[in-house]
Structure 1
Amino acid sequence: MSEDQQRPQPRREIVTGVPRGTRRRPPAHTPARSEISEQTTLGATYVRALMRSQLRAGLAALAVLAVVLGLLPLGFLLPRPVAGPVVWVALGLVAYPVMWLIARWYVGRSERNEADFTGLVTDPAEPPAPRP
C-alpha cells in the first residue's frame, strides 16, 4: 500500500448561512400600529372603522332582539284559550334561547372584527400572538 491510501481523508466542513426564508425583510407597508400610536389621520381612520364595525354588529343584534321580543305581545291576539299557554311558553322557553343565540352571534362577530383589526395593525414579519 502506498502512503496516499494509508492517510485518512481530511474532514469536509460545510459552511452555511441563514436560510433564505428566515431573513427578516422590511414590511411592505408601514404597520398601522405606528399610525395609531402617533395619532395620525390614518390611525384615526383605522380606529373609526373598527368602532363602526362594532357598532354595526351591536345595532344588528339589538334590531333582531327587538323584532323577536317585540312580536311576543302579538300572541295575546290569539283566541283566549290558546293565547295563555302560547304566550307563557314563548316567554318562558323560547325567549331565553333566542337571546342567548343573538348574544353568541354578537360576541363571535365582535371577536372577528377585532381579529381583523389586529391583523391589519400588526407587522407581517412578527410571529402571531398566542391565542388564549
Structure 2
Amino acid sequence: MAEQQQQPPPRRETVTGVARGARRRPPHTPARSEISEQTTLGATYVRSLMRSQLRAGLGALAALVLLVATLPLLFLLPRAGSGPLVWVVLGLLAYPVMWLIARWYVTRAERNEADFTGLVTDPAEAPGPRRPQ
C-alpha cells in the first residue's frame, strides 16, 4: 500500500488542433481567380456567359417578332379584318403567348447564371440548407 501512494498520478495529455468548423478552405476556386485576375481563361468564362445570355435574348426576340409580324398578316384575311376576331386574337391570344415567351426567357437566363455560378463557386460554399450548430 505504501508503494501505491508514492507513484505519481498518470500524466494527462491534451490534444489540440483546428476545430472542424474552422478548417481553412482555399479562398477561391481557380475559375473565380481567373475571372478576378482578368486572365484569358477568365475572359473566356465571362464571354461564354454573355454568349449564352445573348442567345437566349435573341431567341426570345425572334419568337416575339414572329408573333407580332404574323398578326397583320392574319388581319389581311377578308373575314378576319373586322369584328370580334381581332379583339380575341389581340386580347386573348397575343398577350398570353408574349407572357410565355417572357417566362421562358427569364427561366433560361436564370439557368445560365446558375450554371455560371456553379462553375465559379467552391462546392463547399454552395448555398443550401444549413444545419444548426
Normalising by structure 2, report the TM-score.
0.71
Instruction: For structure 1, list consecutive stretches of 5 or more residues without a partner in the other structure.
Output: 1-14
Q: Which residue of 2 aligns with 1:115?
A: 114
> Contact 1:37–1:43 at 8 Å: present in 2 too?
yes
How far apart are the structure 1 equivalents of 2:126 and 2:92?
46
Q: Which residue of 1 aligns with 2:89?
A: 90
For residues 9-24 of structure 1, the aligned pairs below 5 Å read none
Instruction: For structure 2, list consecutive stretches of 5 or more residues without a partner in the other structure.
Output: 1-14
Q: Please give the per-residue CA displacement for 1:12-58, whole angstroms capped at 9, x wherever unaligned.
A: xxx9x99xxxx8787xxx53111101111100000000000000000
How far apart are the structure 2 equivalents of 1:59 and 1:86?
30
The answer to whether residue 52 in structure 2 is matched with residue 72 in structure 1 is no
Q: CA offset at residue 108 of structure 1?
A: 0.3
Q: Which residue of 2 aligns with 1:59?
A: 58
Q: Which residue of 2 aligns with 1:31?
A: 30
SS at match of 2:124: coil
For residues 42-53 of structure 1, the aligned pairs below 5 Å read 42-53=41-52
Identity %: 81
> Contact 1:36–1:42 at 8 Å: present in 2 too?
yes
> Contact 1:36–1:43 at 8 Å: present in 2 too?
yes
Length, aligned pairs only: 112
Normalising by structure 1, report the TM-score.
0.71
- CA RMSD, 1 decimal: 2.9
Q: CA offset at residue 125 of structure 1?
A: 2.9
